[in-house]
A and B are shown apart, each in its own frame.
Chain A
């Protein structure tokens, strides 16, 4: 079973600070981490390999420093890593990113592709399903449990708003996973040593045979017109007095707002 896990290096937003004057993120000095959902994707890939055998390849698209994320994945136990890095990839939106990743996946040859549900910087959750369309394979989103997997068949639980669906699919298939699916393992010492020495493949757009019109800024249908700070709440009110008085004020306020 050839398993490909797509990961993204993101700023660790737990450590992101907000500039109180401009209400923008201070990105300098913010450490980079593997997107938390992708940690669960890597773990899912490793567990499938342990269960039915195969090879786990992690791939990412990004600047040269994204190599760190791939080494972290290797230290967890992934077999192989590919970094898609090329200045021509810069400025990709989800369409161009999905196209680029799908070209790399085709080159590697995959039976199962696993992605995290979404990345915590963009929160779009679009790259996984878009890739599946480019690869012309089925996909299942928001997987919280893999109930059964064989060489040509998978049955999973898909998280929905008020419960879950049990969904089956033939393989090849693309899966996106939520945190509930597993607990990502910590890297072993042996894994860390191996990851340090591992040779990471670096592919450019020509290596994957990407169409120049479909990658990077040029291949991206969407454009960011502008960014701005969200409107600050101006109606903040700290309630005062004894607990009893505070509750009375609260109920009164809510009544005025016709909420009670």
Chain B
């Protein structure tokens, strides 16, 4: 969406000048012109007595001049005003890319405070585009995509990264659709091709059995969502200086409305995608009681409980715990697979975990092919033993410290 002046109709009356909150109208040779400050707020449309100012849907052309697009952007999503951890990981990846490209790194933050924007700077951003408008406190696809589209059109970054989270994966496609540019989902690695400055976007395909390198050579910006917990955070620097650019959301509204945010109450951490340790159970548990044991271990070491699809299908645990192709994709530091045989659909959801510990009775179970440590045995013997050992270690630790 753009605002333009129909030169034939414009009389140069200057009525529009005072209507513009952004100083985005210039009078040149007796005619009004919209300059780059325009935020498409549409305030001038009704101010013009000649109806000479109109909004237009300029068709994006496939041919763009890649040279005009500069800078790396990351979208920093927030929940209840707190920046999500994936944003700091994106800053780590973005800093590396922008240094290689010898360009700047900017973050885009909607619906959070200036102090959160400062944190983004300390984690590596040169600049933060910040909208504190309450419209963005809760996540709605339309206003998020509209404002990001507007900013990208105005500032023309060459790369835009967002988290492959429920928020990023939901609204970023709208942005790419509107900007007529490519979007690569769920990247696990990002590199720069030095010669062309193209972003090499590497992602798993076909359920993680193949990796693919995706390019977006002729359109800008190059957009990608990045899997949480894959990229490393950069250096935190308390004294890092950066610029915060306040952004107004004039003329943006939302047709959808979030009425309520419901947290599923659980004694254990269900937020699998954020957990450092996940303890998952499968059909080998033989009964729902097995999960009580896994919960005990999880509680002890601060982990979350996951499951294979088989255990969900048996009704032993709810779907929100399911890891795998039709459940969640996770990559914790430690993943325990207890009584999980390791069907490919499960493996694709967890095989990028740092350390995989598999406990299974069957030495031939495919889970052992991806396991860092494999234990062949009865989980009802192994896990209670592990719990006991950990408790003992803590006791010793306490005595030693006391």
A: residues with CB less than 8 A from B are 13-14, 16, 18, 23-25, 36-37, 93-95, 98-99, 120-134, 137-142, 155, 157-170, 173, 179-180, 213, 220-230, 233, 235-239, 243-244, 246-248, 250-251, 253-254, 257, 259
Known: A16-B344, A167-B256, A237-B374. A221 touches B218 (CB 8 A): yes
The answer to whether B372 touches A237, judged by C-beta atoms less than 8 angstroms apart, is yes
**Across chains A and B, which 5 residue pairs bring their CB atoms closest together, nearest first?**
A221-B182, A222-B182, A124-B185, A129-B173, A133-B177
B271 contacts chain A at the CB level, 8 A cutoff? yes
B166 contacts chain A at the CB level, 8 A cutoff? yes
Most chain B CB atoms below 10 A, which of A122, A222, A235, A253: A222
B375 to chain A, nearest CB (A): 5
B: residues with CB less than 8 A from A are 62, 138-142, 145, 165-166, 169-174, 176-178, 180-186, 200, 204-219, 254-264, 270-271, 273-274, 319-320, 325-326, 333-334, 343-345, 355, 357, 368-377, 381-382, 385-386, 389-390, 393
8 Å CB contact of B375 from A167, A220, A246: A246
B122 to chain A, nearest CB (A): 25
The answer to whether A239 touches B375, judged by C-beta atoms less than 8 angstroms apart, is yes
The answer to whether B210 touches A226, judged by C-beta atoms less than 8 angstroms apart, is no
Majority SS at the chain B contact face: mixed
The answer to whether A126 touches B382, judged by C-beta atoms less than 8 angstroms apart, is no
8 Å CB contact of B373 from A13, A98, A157, A253: A253
The answer to whether B211 touches A229, judged by C-beta atoms less than 8 angstroms apart, is yes
A142 to B320, alpha carbons, bound, how many Å? 12
Most chain B CB atoms below 10 A, which of A37, A137, A247: A247
The answer to whether A129 touches B264, judged by C-beta atoms less than 8 angstroms apart, is no
8 Å CB contact of A213 from B62, B183, B259, B377: B62
A13 to B345, alpha carbons, bound, how many Å? 8
The answer to whether B184 touches A222, judged by C-beta atoms less than 8 angstroms apart, is yes
- 30 contacting pairs across A/B (C-beta < 8 A): A13-B325, A16-B344, A23-B209, A24-B210, A95-B177, A95-B181, A120-B207, A123-B205, A123-B207, A125-B169, A126-B173, A126-B176, A126-B185, A133-B174, A134-B177, A141-B170, A160-B166, A161-B166, A162-B263, A167-B259, A221-B182, A222-B214, A223-B217, A225-B212, A230-B209, A238-B375, A239-B374, A243-B377, A247-B385, A247-B386
The answer to whether A169 touches B211, judged by C-beta atoms less than 8 angstroms apart, is no
Q: Cβ of B171: which chain A residues have Cβ within 8 Å of it?
A: 129
A140 to B171, alpha carbons, bound, how many Å? 9
8 Å CB contact of A246 from B141, B170, B273, B382: B382
CB nearest to B261 among chain A residues: A165
CB nearest to B62 among chain A residues: A213
8 Å CB contact of B256 from A23, A134, A169: A169
A91 to B142, alpha carbons, bound, how many Å? 29
Q: Cβ of A222: which chain B residues have Cβ within 8 Å of it?
A: 182-184, 214-216
The answer to whether B200 touches A225, judged by C-beta atoms less than 8 angstroms apart, is yes
CB nearest to A213 among chain B residues: B62
The answer to whether B208 touches A230, judged by C-beta atoms less than 8 angstroms apart, is yes
The answer to whether B376 touches A163, judged by C-beta atoms less than 8 angstroms apart, is no
Known: A120-B326, A166-B259, A167-B258. A223 touches B381 (CB 8 A): no
